[in-house]
Amino acid sequence: MSFKDQERVARAKDKAEERTITLPDGTSVPSIGQGTWYMGEDPRNKDQEVKALQLGVEAGMKLIDTAEMYADGGAEEVTGEAIKGKREDVFLVSKAYPHHGGKDTLPKACEQSLRRLKTDYIDLYLLHWRGSIPLEETIEGMEQLKREGKIKRWGVSNFDTKDMEELLGKEQGSNCAVNQVLYHLGSRGIDYDLLPWQRKHNMPIMAYSPLARGDDHSRVSLVTHPTVREIAEQHQVKPLQIALAWTIRNHDTIAIPKAVQENHVIENAEAASIILSKQEMAQLDEAFPEPDKKVPLDII
């Protein structure tokens, strides 16, 4: 890494320590973390993926999100390698399959994730999406894992508003720490009801694919849209950095972009230092309007 890039990493780290999100239990986490979807699929890329995650941690993106589903555990193995020797510096998130959400199956799934991650606890453990297992049973399993010290807190992923209302109506359901959903400038469905609901209940959103997927037309529109490009030029940054800064604009959303290339990792970290003006946010609202009615939750 060049001296110039080292300086960029140091500056990004300082800003990351200023831009944090507070979880319901008072824990602070960086507003921009790191995703691992598609990591661990090709052994030839493992070294580069490990180094990318380590660089991200160095740049202040200390929250790493993974899942047992990603590459059949391969992403957890990559993550485990990346956090070796620096476990206490990382806020680790992983997710369990819905069919592992039972009180008997959840402990086994958690143990397997812990083994792949080479750690004895997970900071935040999520149900990846809702399945057929009753929520009461999943809550019971999560709370038991907390009592055993295997996880520090738990949450859910891909839950819409009605799911969240039902969850919080269950005994100990209010212990849910976050809801992780798809959210980016080109996919604003949750702005209509889910995001306001979560704000009302002081529960952060964790935004996966905050830059859209690389093969998604939404990502192309984020990069090429004249408004995004104009604002990026004003800030002297990349268009995707503006899109990422928009995702964390309200101080209650954690974004978890995935990057493997060194420069992309640093750019993601630098996005935490971009503050959009009211005028710029109004411009982006006009270019990418929020919905005026309920729309189905986007899931990819």
pLDDT single digits (tens) 117-156: 999 999 999 999 999 999 999 999 999 999 999 999 999 9
CA angle at residue 102 from 101 to 107, to 5 degrees? 80
Higher-scoring residue by pLDDT: 177, 11 = 177
Q: What percent of the chain has pLDDT over 90?
A: 88
Which residue's structure tokens are 């998604």?
A: 216
Compute the distance between CA of residue 164 and CA of residue 186 in angstroms, rounded to an integer.
23
**Looking at the predicted structure, is the pLDDT value of residue 214 above 70?**
no
Quick one: which of 129, 50, 126, 130 has its CA closest to 94? 126
CATH numbers and ranges of domains, the chain: 3-287 (3.20.20.100)
Measured in degrees and rounded to the nearest 5, phi and psi for residue 33 equal: -115, -155
| Across 36-40, 70-74, 213-217, 239-243, least confident range | 213-217
**Looking at the predicted structure, is the pLDDT value of residue 241 above 70?**
yes
pLDDT tens for residues 253-267?
Answer: 999 999 999 999 999
- What's the confidence (pLDDT) of residue 24? 96
**Running DSSP on this structure, what letter comes out for residue 192?**
T
- What's the confidence (pLDDT) of residue 217? 64
Compute the distance between CA of residue 206 and CA of residue 123 in angstroms, rounded to an integer.
14
pLDDT tens for residues 47-80?
Answer: 999 999 999 999 999 999 999 999 999 999 999 9
- What's the confidence (pLDDT) of residue 3? 84
Amino acid at 179: N
- What's the confidence (pLDDT) of residue 16? 82
Compute the distance between CA of residue 104 and CA of residue 16 in angstroms, rounded to an integer.
39
Q: How far is CA 203 from the centre of its chain?
A: 14
* Band of residue 215 on the pLDDT scale cut at 50, 70, 90: low
Quick one: which of 87, 74, 91 has its CA closest to 38? 74
| Across 75-89, 182-196, 205-219, 237-251, least confident range | 205-219
Which ranges of the chain would DSSP assign to H, the alpha helix?
3-16, 46-58, 74-82, 105-117, 135-147, 161-168, 194-200, 217-224, 226-235, 239-247, 262-270, 278-287
Other Cβ atoms less than 10 A from the Cβ of 103: the count is 17
Compute the distance between CA of residue 287 and CA of residue 284 in angstroms, rounded to an integer.
5
Average pLDDT, the chain: 95
Residue 226 CB-density burial (10 A; 0-12 exposed, 13-18 middle, 19+ buried): exposed
- What's the confidence (pLDDT) of residue 74? 98
Can you read off the two tokens belonging to residue 176?
Answer: 């849910």
Which residue's structure tokens are 């720490």?
A: 177
CA atoms within 13 A on the CB side of 172: 14
**Looking at the predicted structure, is the pLDDT value of residue 44 above 80?**
yes
